[in-house]
Amino acid sequence: MSLRTLESVNRFINQRSESLLQKMRQFPSLTAWLLLLPALSWLIIFFVAPLFIVLAYSFLERGTYGGVTWQFTTENFARVFDPLYLKTFLRSVYIAIVTTVVCLLLGFPLAYYISTRPPRRRNTLLLALMIPFWTNFLIRTYAWLTILRTNTGLINVSLISLGILDKPLPLFGNDFAILLGLVYGWLPVMVLPIYAALERLDRSLIEAANDLYAPGSRVFLRIIWPLSLPGVVAGSMLVFIPALGAFVTPAILGGGKSLMIGNIISNQFLAAHDWPFGSALSTLMMGLMLFATLVYFRSTRRGEEIEK
């Protein structure tokens, strides 16, 4: 290539980039969109599009050789009300609710405990709280498998060999195991927001209440609980949603049976190849979670209004 061609190409590029830079200076939002472009494209192609496909498939008919035929139908949603599936659906909701409640009952005192330690200790305790959460969820669930299993789990083996029991306790392959696994897995996530709310609590409010003759229980009900409510609600959301969508826990601790929505959905895709039905189930599950999230946002906004 001759020098002149190179020069003019160079000049061309400089001009173009100079005018681009000018544009960016004049229209800052252009810069913003350029910065967002890579992430946005990725998310649109590999997140939004798949999401819409699932939504679309919920309304399509299953094809004869797997796949779909382009027929609109609400049959997939109707099938959810089939007693078999409805039972599992409702049980999943039930398990998610119970998990949330148990996490709250166990987590609130724990959060309170941490918040009443001296400041330096608190950070260490928080770290200790989160370390299990940062480890692999599958492994933590597996740990419970080795502990709860009916004939070969730690609890039963130990209790039987110590002579305390004749028959093993049914701690595995049932709702109890799943609940235990879920509570164990998500407890730290319940504790954190509650701790944050409690930590912000002005101690002098409690002292003021004491000064005004309020006994411990009243102090809790009228002062501590209401002020920690935002944390409670946040924690509950953070536990309920993953609990509802649980897959690993029932798969490992549920004893190989499809016990929650997540497992049924997985089955539809991996075994039964009924994509439309699986999509419909997934859509319903996400719809339920969206509803719960909206309730959360509404409640926080109402909370703000009350504070005003």
Partner 1 sequence: MKNRTASHPGRLAKMKSQIGNFVLSLYGILGFLFLYLPIIILVIFSFNNSRSTAQWAGFSTQWYAEMIQDDQVILALWNSLFVAVVSTIVSTVLGTLAAMAMERYAFRGKLVMDALLYLPIIIPDIAMGIMLLLFFNISGIGFEPWRLRFFGLRFAVPYSVIIGHVAFNISFVAVVVRARLAQMDRTLEEAANDLYADNWRTFRRVTLPMMMPGILGGALLAFTLSLDDFVITFFTSGAGFNTLPVRVFGMIKRGVTPKINAVSTLMLAASLLLVIVSLVTRRGGEKAPIDLNL
Interaction residues for partner 1, span 145-164 (CB under 8 A): 145-147, 149, 152-154, 156-158, 161
77 near partner 1 (CB under 8 A):
no
The least CB distance from residue 226 to partner 1, in Å, is 20
Q: Measured from the CB of residue 34, what is the shortest distance to partner 1 in angstroms?
A: 8
Residue 63 is given by DSSP the state P
Which residue from 261, 218, 281 is spatially nearest to 90, judged by alpha carbons?
Answer: 261
Question: Within 13 Å, how many C-alpha atoms sit on residue 54's CB side?
Answer: 18
* Binding status of residue 209 toward partner 1 by CB under 8 A: no
Among 103, 114, 182, 194, binds partner 1 (CB under 8 A): 114
DSSP per residue, 161-219: HTTS-SS----SSSHHHHHHHHHHHHHHHHHHHHHHHHHTS-HHHHHHHHHTT--HHHH
Residue whose CB is less far from partner 1, 67 or 170 = 67
Site string for partner 1, 266-295 (x = CB under 8 A): x--x-----x--xx--x--xx--x---x--
Q: Assess 47 for contact with partner 1 (CB under 8 A).
A: yes
Taking CB under 8 A as the criterion, the residue among 127, 208, 294, 295 binding partner 1 is 127
Nearer to partner 1 (CB atom), residue 97 or residue 157: 157
Tokens describing residue 231:
């944390």
Handedness of CA 8, 12, 15, 18 (dihedral sign): negative
